[in-house]
Amino acid sequence: MPTLPLDRAAARGLPILLPNPDAPRLALPLFASPVRCGFPSPADDYLDARLDLNQYLVEDVPATFMIRVQGDSMIGAHLVDGDVLVVDKGRQPCVGDIVVAAVDGEFTVKRLARRGSRFYLHPENPAYPPIVPADGQELLIWGVVVGSVRKF
């Protein structure tokens, strides 16, 4: 699937956020035991490691950008209005991946799907129809969503 260069995206006014390659490492404490979402368990009083979120979320700095979610078409995938998506342009998109795509220059985030030989974009909210490009429409996959960040 073809992709759109980031400089063309910026020229179209899309608010692209790029990771700072010179960002200082910020390793935060990572507890050895996960926290349960059900009944509480005895707490461990020690740390297992440290976690740098840049290192955790970004595999390929030059191919990675971030973009903010607007709307509710992907709530079934737990992506909500205001989330920041981490997108890897270097990753090969596969059916089932959540992708940032442009259909005739209109940008969206959806799950990549296929019927027969035709690709289409599937929302994760039943209130929205799939986006099935018509003959002659341009579908460009910008990149694969590899993570998201949400601030409460």
Catalytic positions? 73, 110
d(CA 124, CA 127): 9
Judge residue 102's burial from the number of C-beta atoms within 10 Å of its C-beta, 0-12 exposed, 13-18 middle, 19 or more buried.
buried
- Give the Cβ contact number of residue 4 at 10 Å: 20
Q: Which two tokens stand for residue 109?
A: 């985030």
Among residues 78, 120, 77, 60, the alpha carbon closest in space to that of 95 is found at 120
6 three-class SS: helix
Q: Do β-strands 47-52 and 118-122 pair in parallel, antiparallel, or remain unpaired?
A: unpaired
